[in-house]
A and B are shown apart, each in its own frame.
Chain A
Amino acid sequence: MTNQTNQMITAHGLTKTFRSKGQTVEAVRSVDLSVATGELVAFLGPNGAGKSTTLRMLTTLLPPTAGEAIVAGCDIRTDPAGVRRRIGYVGQGNSGGHTQRVRDELHAQGAFYGMGRRETRARSAELIESLELAQVANRQVQSLSGGQKRRLDIALGLIHRPELLFLDEPSTGLDPHSRANLWEHIVELRRATGTTIFLTTHYLDEADQLAERVMVMDNGAVIADDTADALKGSLAGDRVTLTFDSPSDAATAAARIGGEVDGADARVVTVTAPGGDRALPRYIRSLSDAGLEVAAATHRQPTLDDVFLALTGRSLREEAAAPAASAEELETAAA
């Protein structure tokens, strides 16, 4: 059965509640989402926001408490086997068995998906080549570096050429070089095959660089859903900073352009403006027409962290540094 619509994922009211020691924790609260075929969507949020729990429901690892979802044309509740056949899943952990050899693990994975022996071998060779695993193909997984293990995880997730690939925190724990390398592979995969990719991340730059659309999740709910640029434009806006020679000039200028006086000696005016790079020369022109000399000017584009700050009043950077109890811990405690 092929997809009738061009939606790869649709979910309505997806909810997961964990019960632990008399406490009820709503890890995911009535999430609606849709991902179109061929899209690359990032699920951004701090640890414990419910991203992985949502992912685990969509991949049939966890039954939802309420709600429904159609993934790759199959209902996660009534046809989990159909979902499993059609999706690839790369979880948070490393999925190669420690004492297994890289190539053996790929061959086993092909057999798991019902692929024939020849097909599996050919596909494994292809993935070993494209994910730069040739040098370690006959080594035990435990001897691999973090980046190599992660590339193996992706190869394992792709063995059966899934139409939809889930990536849960793909670059967590990798050094900057390995992260950049991994991103290149993900981008190349998209370019070459058009595979739909749904990934979770708590890295701002990962969502910003990879995703065509970002869904921001916090406290079990999706609180924003748009392209990174649109989110930054609508929620955070560009910041323009103008410095003047005297506090009185600054005050006059602030009143004229609707900014706020800032800085230790009250000579700095900041203003939030959409399309700040274009607004900046306009401000300077209009202020000099009024006889106000701008001493220095900067323009900064907002980051997704500014977006998160605007939405929640908290910085995602700090959240990532001090993770809350993750859903997985709750799940373990509840079991």
Chain B
Amino acid sequence: MNTISPAAADAVAADRHAASARPTGFVHDTATVFVRESRPLVRDPFSVIFSLVQPLVFLGLFGPLLVGAAGGDVAATLQWFVPGILVMVALFGTASTGANLLFEMQTGSHERTLVAPLSRSALLVGRALKEVVPLVIQGTIVVLVAVPFGFRLDVPGLVAGLAVLAVFGVGFGALSYTLALGCRNRDWMFWMVHQTLLFPLMILSGMLLPLEDGPAWMKVAAAVNPLSYLVGAERALLAGDFGAPAVLGGIVAAAATCAIGVFVGVRAMRRAR
């Protein structure tokens, strides 16, 4: 039934093995996963803009209230509020990214990548690194939108601020993927944890309203919330104040989130089946 001669069959087999012998290390695999994950963003950039609706609503509708409460100084209020919105972009954007993986687990896409000769760690890290792309684009847009209203742009500060956010975003994205891997086909569990954690984390970071006037327990909660340090660092960095003590705190918080997120994420992906 098979008309291929033995010699030709051997040549085909040798060819197959030449193709399969190409080295596929962690870096190659991570880059490959990163490229696959980023492609829909490149093909459909509008999706990046679309997820900006929420932060822009906060900026446009919450901002004026803050301005009123602060006594009418728009520029000063924006200087305080915009860095918080940047952290919000990083938080909301990356927190729900696990839902994409959850969906791919329920179809067959995730399974396909598990059967492919890819490093499991790369499957997680490549996905988490992708979070940087929308985050940087969205953060830049938010800042540019605020400039005409009096926000004073410090370019090196913005670059540094986005870099710190990117590190945080990779970690928080990895945590979201970990949650997805743990929930498997239980969507409701993913969204329940997501909703339960997200808003307290946001409010107890001082992102929207200052916590200085809040009760003591709130200040304690904020002190253990890594996002508080991130918000503090972003406020300093976007003002160009690289030497502020808050900057170091934010870098540590972002790095810790990243380290923990990637560690638990890689562990969960290695166990995935």
Could you list which residues of chain A lie within 8 angstroms of chain B, going by C-beta atoms? 1-2, 38, 56, 59-63, 81, 84-87, 89, 91-101, 104-105, 108-109, 111-116, 119, 153, 156, 160-163, 194, 332, 335
User: Are B109 and A95 interface neighbours, CB within 8 A?
Assistant: yes
User: Are A100 and B273 interface neighbours, CB within 8 A?
Assistant: no
How far is it, in angstroms, between the C-alpha of A56 and the C-alpha of B19 when the chains are bound? 24
Q: Which of A1, A60, A114 contacts B115 (CB 8 A)?
A: A60
Q: Which of A2, A62, A97, A335 contacts B17 (CB 8 A)?
A: A2
User: Are B103 and A98 interface neighbours, CB within 8 A?
Assistant: yes
**What are the residues of chain B within 8 A of A95 when measuring CB–CB?**
107-109, 111-112
Check: B113 CB closer than 8 A to any chain A CB.
yes
How far is it, in angstroms, between the C-alpha of A153 and the C-alpha of B184 when the chains are bound? 22
* B side interface size, CB within 8 A: 42
- Decide yes or no: A93 and B36 within 8 Å by CB, A61-B115, A161-B19, A194-B2 being known contacts: no
User: Are A85 and B20 interface neighbours, CB within 8 A?
Assistant: yes
Q: Which of A92, A93, A112: most chain B Cβ within 10 A?
A: A112
User: Are A332 and B185 interface neighbours, CB within 8 A?
Assistant: yes
Q: Mark B136-179, 1 if CB is under 8 A from A, else 0.
A: 00000000000000000000000000000000000000000000
Could you list which residues of chain B lie within 8 angstroms of chain A, going by C-beta atoms? 1-2, 4, 9-10, 12-13, 15-17, 19-20, 22-24, 28-29, 32, 35-36, 39-40, 43-44, 47, 103-104, 106-109, 111-118, 184-185, 273
Q: In the complex, how many angstroms separate the beta carbon of B23 from the nearest chain A beta carbon?
A: 7
**A328 to chain B: closest residue by CB:** B185
Q: Which of B1, B32, B40, B117 contacts A100 (CB 8 A)?
A: B40
Q: In the complex, how many angstroms separate the beta carbon of B117 from the nearest chain A beta carbon?
A: 4
- Decide yes or no: A93 and B107 within 8 Å by CB, A114-B22, A335-B184 being known contacts: yes
**B115 to chain A: closest residue by CB:** A89
**What are the residues of chain B within 8 A of A104 when measuring CB–CB?**
36, 39, 43
Q: In the complex, how many angstroms separate the beta carbon of B202 from the nearest chain A beta carbon?
A: 27
Q: Which of B39, B44, B116, B185 contacts A113 (CB 8 A)?
A: B116
User: Are A161 and B16 interface neighbours, CB within 8 A?
Assistant: yes
Q: In the complex, how many angstroms separate the beta carbon of B19 from the nearest chain A beta carbon?
A: 6
- Decide yes or no: A86 and B108 within 8 Å by CB, A100-B39, A101-B39, A194-B4 being known contacts: no
User: Are B19 and A114 interface neighbours, CB within 8 A?
Assistant: yes
Q: In the complex, how many angstroms separate the beta carbon of B194 from the nearest chain A beta carbon?
A: 20
Main secondary structure of the interface of A (DSSP, over half): loop
* Pairs across A and B, CB under 8 Å, 24 listed: A1-B17, A56-B273, A89-B112, A91-B108, A91-B111, A91-B115, A92-B108, A93-B108, A93-B111, A95-B111, A97-B109, A98-B107, A99-B40, A100-B36, A108-B32, A109-B116, A111-B35, A112-B113, A112-B117, A114-B24, A115-B22, A116-B22, A161-B16, A161-B19
User: Are B43 and A38 interface neighbours, CB within 8 A?
Assistant: no
**What are the residues of chain B within 8 A of A115 when measuring CB–CB?**
19, 22
**A99 to chain B: closest residue by CB:** B40
User: Are A119 and B184 interface neighbours, CB within 8 A?
Assistant: no
**What are the residues of chain B within 8 A of A89 when measuring CB–CB?**
112, 115
How far is it, in angstroms, between the C-alpha of A113 and the C-alpha of B13 when the chains are bound? 16
Q: Which 4 A-B pairs have the closest CB atoms?
A: A93-B108, A108-B36, A95-B108, A114-B22
User: Are B117 and A99 interface neighbours, CB within 8 A?
Assistant: no
Q: In the complex, how many angstroms separate the beta carbon of A158 from the nearest chain B beta carbon?
A: 12
How far is it, in angstroms, between the C-alpha of A256 and the C-alpha of B2 when the chains are bound? 48
- Decide yes or no: A153 and B185 within 8 Å by CB, A89-B115, A108-B32, A112-B118 being known contacts: no
Given A93-B106, A100-B39, list of 9 further CB < 8 A pairs? A86-B20, A91-B111, A97-B40, A101-B43, A104-B36, A108-B39, A114-B19, A161-B15, A163-B13
Q: In the complex, how many angstroms separate the beta carbon of B39 from the nearest chain A beta carbon?
A: 5
- Decide yes or no: A2 and B13 within 8 Å by CB, A94-B108, A114-B22 being known contacts: yes
**What are the residues of chain B within 8 A of A97 when measuring CB–CB?**
36, 40, 104, 109
How far is it, in angstroms, between the C-alpha of A109 and the C-alpha of B39 when the chains are bound? 13
**What are the residues of chain A within 8 A of B112 when measuring CB–CB?**
89, 91, 95, 109, 156
**What are the residues of chain A within 8 A of B9 when measuring CB–CB?**
194
